Structure 1
Amino acid sequence: MSFFIQNAMASENTSSEGNSYSLIFMLVIFLLFFYFVLFRPQQKKAQEHKNLMNSITKDDEVITTSGLVGRVNKVTKNGYVLLSLNNETEVCIKKNFIASVIPKGTLNSLL
C-alpha cells in the first residue's frame, strides 16, 4: 500500500511544479500588461510636460491648469513665471501649473 501512496505524491509534485510555472508566466504577462497600459503612458505624459516646462520663454502665450490665459513676461530660474493676463494685471505662478502653450496671436483674438 505504501508503494501506491508514494507514486501518488510524486505525481502530485510534478503537477504542482507545472502549475507554478504557469502561475509565474501569468504574473509576468499581467505585469507587462500593466506596464504598457498604465505606467508607460503616464511616464510619456510626464516627460512631455517636463519638455514643455523647459521650452517656455518670454512672450509665449500659455494657458494654465486653472484656466488663466496670458503672455509670459518673465521666467525665473527658481521655477516661477510672471504671466500678464491683460495690460494691467500680472500674476506670478509656478511653471508646473502651465498646461499648454497656445499659438501666438490667440491672446489678441480673445481680448
Structure 2
Amino acid sequence: MESRLFISPAFAQGAPAGGGTEMILQFVPFILIFVIMWFLIIRPQQRRVKAHQELIKNVRRGDTVVTSGGIIGKVTKVVEDSADVEVEIADGVKVKVARAMISEVRSKSEPVKA
C-alpha cells in the first residue's frame, strides 16, 4: 500500500515549514551581485558620460581637439545651439565635426574677448 504514495516520507519531512525566510536568503546573493556591479561598472560609466557631456558643452574656439576617429585639429567655429563644430585639421582645411564625436580636448584656449 505504501508503494502507491507519490511523496516519500523522507522527502516530505525535508520540506521547509517557514518558506519565507529561506526564499529571502536565496535572493541575497543576487542583490549583492547587483550592488557590486553598480559600484564597479554602472556608477563609473555614468561619471564618464557626465564628464564627456561637460567637455563637449565647454568646447570653445581655439581649443585643440581629438575626434573619436583620431583626427586632431583646432576648433575655428562654434555655434552654441548647434550639434556641429568647425575644426581646422590643416592649413586652410576645415571640416565640420559632430560635437558628440569629440573625444578629448588637448589644450584649452583663452576665452574670446568680446
Matching residue of 1:32: 35
The Cα RMSD (Å) is: 2.1
Matching residue of 2:49: 46
- Distance of 1:71 and 1:39 partners within structure 2: 33
- Distance of 2:59 and 2:17 partners within structure 1: 63
- Distance of 1:104 and 1:98 partners within structure 2: 14
- Name whichever structure is richer in helix by fraction: 1
**TM-score where L is the length of structure 1:** 0.77
Find out whether 1:86 has 2:90 as its counterpart: yes
C-alpha distance after superposition, 1:51-90 (max 9, x if no partner)? 1001100100111111111100011222100000122200
Number of aligned positions between the proteins: 98
- Distance of 2:30 and 2:76 partners within structure 1: 52
Shift in Å at residue 18 of structure 1?
A: 3.1
Find out whether 1:103 has 2:107 as its counterpart: yes
**TM-score where L is the length of structure 2:** 0.76
Q: Which moved more, 1:16-25 or 1:81-90?
A: 16-25
| Unaligned 5+ runs, structure 1 | 106-111
Matching residue of 2:16: 12
Letter in structure 1 aligned against 2:104: S
Matching residue of 1:108: none
C-alpha distance after superposition, 1:11-62 (max 9, x if no partner)? 6222x33321212222221110111122111111100100100110010011
Question: Against the structure 1 CA distance between its residues 33 and 104, is the aligned structure 2 distance closer, same or farther, given a 3 Å change threshold?
Answer: closer
Identity, % of aligned pairs?
20
